[in-house]
Amino acid sequence: MTENIFMRYFREKNNLSQEAVANVLHMSKEQYAELEAGKSILKFETAKHLDAFFKSETCYFYILGLQHQLMATQEELIDLLKKQAVGNGELSEEEASNLEALDESSELEKIPELLLEKVARNPTQVIQEVFRVRDIDSIRDDTWTWIKAAIANNKSSCEEEGIRLTLMTFYKDLLVLLEALHLINEKRKCENAVGVTESIGAHTTARSQNQPRDLVYELVMNPEQVLKSFYEKYTLKQLRFLFWNWLDAGISNEGVGYDEGIERSFLLLLYEHIYCLVEAAYYLNVNANRS
């Protein structure tokens, strides 16, 4: 199973630690961490406690717990049928074991690796993958729509002026970071294409589109400095909190931008891409500081 992002979302939205939620559920911090990471099954009773604790109107955890319970029951039934087949002589123990291994491997092959799972291991690849499907101009346009929806939502955390101002400041800083990542990606594409380092300024100004708007000349020539400055200002924990608030305020605004289900799906994909770029930038900066 993959990480239960909504468990993390509800917890971080309420500014709670894993230990605090674990205490409410009468379990250890380690047990809760495994639940949130998707390493253990969310039991039905625990799910009901989570819905009550977070006051979830959609009973999300109730539904999730029910799904997990059904999955567990299905696995138990499959194991029982295998044991019966071995007992009846229809399968040998070795054949049953091989069948189980085959089932697990075939299921794993069906699950593609998530973009976020690659970030720490290969941030450069993640940046390349995102910019392969999104150019910097479309990122500017789409994030502008997203920030407008969030700021205009008076039934979210953005109803408070302080949070709106914080989010707008973050948005401006984010645009600078994304432009720097775009330049770094373009520079590496040039290096891979011709085998030598070209002037990043010359390369970007040769294009009529996708040019930096928010970077001064010095930072265009040294986009890595943008990463350093950005992560001197923001920690990963702060960034996750800001992104969750931004996503919550944007996707729950029914009047601006995201009325249809397909539009909300596009927003979730945008969120994934932008957040992965930000985490990839974090690891690029960490690696640069180590070298």
The per-residue pLDDT for range 166-200, each reduced to its tens digit, is 999 999 999 999 999 999 998 888 776 655 444 44
Q: For residue 10, what are the domain limits?
A: 5-113
- Residues 105 and 81 placed together within one structural domain of the fold: yes
Report the domain count for the chain: 2
- Residues 133 and 107 placed together within one structural domain of the fold: no
Q: Per the structure block, which two tokens stand in for 191?
A: 């290096």
Distance of CA 148 to the CA centre of its chain: 21
| pLDDT at res. 97 | 72
| pLDDT at res. 156 | 80
pLDDT digits (tens, 9 = 90+) for 113-122: 678 888 888 9
Average confidence (pLDDT) over 244-259: 82
Give the Å distances, CA to CA, from 208 to 128, 168, 204: 21, 28, 9
- Residue 226 near residue 215, CB atoms below 8 Å: yes
Last residue of a domain, one of 44, 79, 113: 113
Range name among 107-111, 131-135, 151-155, 280-284 with the lowest pLDDT average: 107-111
3-state secondary structure of 25: coil
Instruction: Give long-range contacts, CB 8 A cutoff, 24+ apart: 56-61.
Output: 56/10, 60/6, 61/7
CB neighbours (10 Å) of residue 164? 18
Last residue of a domain, one of 97, 113, 129: 113
Last residue of a domain, one of 78, 113, 148: 113
CB neighbours (10 Å) of residue 120? 13
